[in-house]
Chains A and B, each alone.
Chain A
Amino acid sequence: QQQVKQSPQSLIVQKGGISIINCAYENTAFDYFPWYQQFPGKGPALLIAIRPDVSEKKEGRFTISFNKSAKQFSLHIMDSQPGDSATYFCAAIWRAGTASKLTFGTGTRLQVTL
């Protein structure tokens, strides 16, 4: 059972365009929402993250929009570049006893064309 649902599975965007990846969740115990970027042959790397008390967070060309009531959040990549071509994972963290657990969406493969 996927606790974080991610769409689309793949995305092709022209250089300079906006890439949008959406995620939805059900578990209200989630209290932190990171996005990871993964290049082929590499491990995922943290891109940007947001807490649910914030509706938007921007870092350079990357923006997370968060809708707590709808339990949805999305990643927007402005002015997409070929170097942004990678797989993107949304994720959610919740507290499990003394630990925190991270659960991932299924990933979106982004291709930015010239």
Chain B
Amino acid sequence: NAGVTQTPKFQVLKTGQSMTLQCAQDMNHEYMSWYRQDPGMGLRLIHYSVGAGITDQGEVPNGYNVSRSTTEDFPLRLLSAAPSQTSVYFCASKTGYYNEQFFGPGTRLTVL
């Protein structure tokens, strides 16, 4: 199993550009989520999904869009990138309420 994979590993954008961060998992987990990690703030939940076709907002959803058309994939779209979105983004998946949440290796995004 590859676990949770994320692409790209690094990305530099200009303000106003849009892009999609890719996330895929091969563990057949129904629950997937996106976090951003900023210094001194821990990880904050952006969006999550409890299954294909079902998504919901987390703590910091503004400026981001998600969809879940398959169990395996959960892309995160930045609609119009802003410098405040410079961060490290992590995708995660799990199955079951108390089960371990597995994180991907992250995407480091810089918005100029």
Place the interface of chain A in its size category: 20 to 34
Are the CB atoms of A95 and B97 closer together than 8 Å? yes
Q: Are B105 and A42 in contact, with the CB atoms below 8 A?
A: yes
The size class of the interface chain B forms with chain A is 20 to 34
Q: Is B103's CB under 8 angstroms from A45's CB?
A: yes
Q: How far is the CB of B62 from chain A (nearest CB, A)?
A: 16
Interface string of A17-47 (1 = CB under 8 A from B): 0000000000000001010000001111110
Query: Interface segment, A59-67, A69-77, A78-86, A99-107?
Result: A99-107
* B50/A93 in contact, CB under 8 A: no
With A43-B104, A101-B48 already in contact, the answer to whether A106 and B41 are too (CB < 8 A) is yes
Q: Identify the interface centre among A6, A34, A43, A45: most chain B CB within 10 Å of its CB.
A: A43
Partner pick for B48 among A43, A93, A99, CB 8 A cutoff = A99
Does A9 make an interface contact (CB < 8 A)? yes
Q: Which interface residue of A49, A95, A102 has the most chain B CB atoms within 10 A? A: A102
B42 located at the interface, meaning its Cβ lies under 8 Å from any Cβ of chain A in the complex? yes
Are the CB atoms of B43 and A104 closer together than 8 Å?
Answer: yes
Q: Which of B42, B100, B103, B104 contacts A107 (CB 8 A)?
A: B42
Q: In the complex the two chains form, is B42's CB within 8 Å of A101's CB?
A: no
Complex contacts, B58 vs chain A, CB 8 Å:
101
Interface residues of B (CB under 8 A from A): 4, 31, 33, 35, 40-45, 48, 50, 56, 58-59, 90, 92, 97-98, 100-101, 103-106
A-B contact pairs, 23 of them (CB 8 A): A2-B41, A2-B42, A6-B42, A32-B98, A34-B101, A41-B106, A42-B105, A43-B103, A43-B105, A44-B43, A45-B103, A46-B100, A46-B101, A51-B98, A93-B97, A96-B56, A101-B58, A102-B45, A104-B43, A105-B42, A106-B41, A107-B40, A107-B42
- Which 8 A-B pairs have CB atoms at the shortest separation, nearest pair first? A43-B103, A104-B42, A106-B42, A104-B43, A46-B100, A99-B50, A100-B97, A44-B103
